[in-house]
Amino acid sequence: MGGVMNDEAPFRHTTVLLNEAVDGVLARPDGTYVDGTFGRGGHSRLLLSKLGPGGRLIAIDRDPEAIAAAQAIDDPRFTICHSGFADMAAQLAALGVHQVDGVLLDLGVSSPQIDNPARGFSFRFEGPLDMRMDTTRGMSAADFLASADEREIARVIKDYGEERFAGQIAKALVARRETGAPLTRTDELRELVARTVKTREPGQDPATRTFQALRIHVNRELEELEQGLNAALRLLSPGGRLSVISFHSLEDRRVKQFIAAHSKAEFDRRAPFAPPPALALKALGRVMPSAAEVAANPRSRSAVLRVAERTDAPLKD
């Protein structure tokens, strides 16, 4: 997440909480690590620089452009897999890896994705209404809006965008579709939402929440996160670390609840004197970007890093 455009690098990426996330996940220099969201490789490159000769890094990404960028890393300790991180256990098993010392997840959309009009992630640029992380498969945002009923569109915008005008926006989208001219462009969606949403938060485009909601739905981001967190917990060896950067409350809430569920004992009223159950995780803390980082990269302002460590307690089935 983060970054700016310039002439030398049209879709330059600035990695958020770079040192904090890598230091958080690095448990053993000669261990095996997973970067579940390679992006443009900021975290991976720094992690590789800190690994010893016996270390290994397996990176994963859904975006074909990220996979292409990873080919530039010439390091025998590095492997790249084209997949979502929800499938990390299967990807690692295919490589003969069944336990790791750390898993790092950066849940933000990368600047090359946001700033490339052809990807359709941003209302700031005119482009096709796509929004897929993996452009080789799945339904685009335009496909979803062309086929879903009004109730489903409203549910997605409300649940994933926390948009209080979700019903009105869904109604306007379906009315537009029924004219025989469904939305296919980002600027069309932005203009429709702007006409529909009568009040807006200061400094925020009225389409912000709708674009977020559609992106989360198209890419199944919350389902991917839940599956990925469970996979990471099962892969981590005792003492291994989980380091996760979130960029909006829906993600951070799930990460926080996941860590809490595996690191806090529930009091059993039926057995008040029983020893506390063994817990699978130990929460190590939360980190926010510094004022200097936010000033240098405004896209980092909403980032939250949470770090936890795997204990030697057995997992519940």
109: its two tokens: 């959309």
Q: Where are the alpha helices (DSSP H) in the chain?
A: 18-25, 42-50, 64-70, 88-94, 111-115, 141-147, 150-161, 166-178, 186-196, 208-218, 221-235, 249-263, 291-296
Strands in 236-246's sheet, in edge-to-edge order, are: 78-82, 56-61, 32-35, 100-106, 236-246, 304-310, 281-287
Domain end call among 218, 236, 270: 218
Range of the domain at 171: 137-218
Model-level pTM? Answer: 0.89
Q: Please state whether beta strands 78-82 and 100-106 pair in parallel, antiparallel, or not at all (unpaired).
A: unpaired
Domain count, the chain: 2
In a domain, 5, yes or no: no
Single out the residue in 150, 184, 218 at which a domain terminates: 218
- Report if residue 1 sits inside a domain: no
69 in a domain, yes or no?
A: yes
Confidence of residue 272 (pLDDT cuts 50, 70, 90): low
Residues 212 and 231 in one domain: no
pLDDT score, position 39: 93
Spell out the residues 6+ positions from residue 147 whose beta carbon is closer than 8 angstroms to its own. none
Model confidence band, residue 106 (pLDDT cutoffs 50, 70, 90) = very high
Q: Tell me whether residue 36 is in a domain.
A: yes
Q: Is residue 116 part of a domain?
A: no
**187: CATH:** 1.10.150.170
pLDDT tens readout for residues 193-246: 999 997 777 878 999 999 999 999 999 999 999 999 999 999 999 999 999 999
Look at residue 282 and tell me if it is in a domain. yes
In this structure, the answer to whether residues 107 and 161 fall within a common structural domain is: no
Q: 285: which strand partners?
A: 307
In a domain, 127, yes or no: no
Q: Are residues 153 and 201 in the same domain?
A: yes
Domain termination site, one of 218, 253, 276: 218
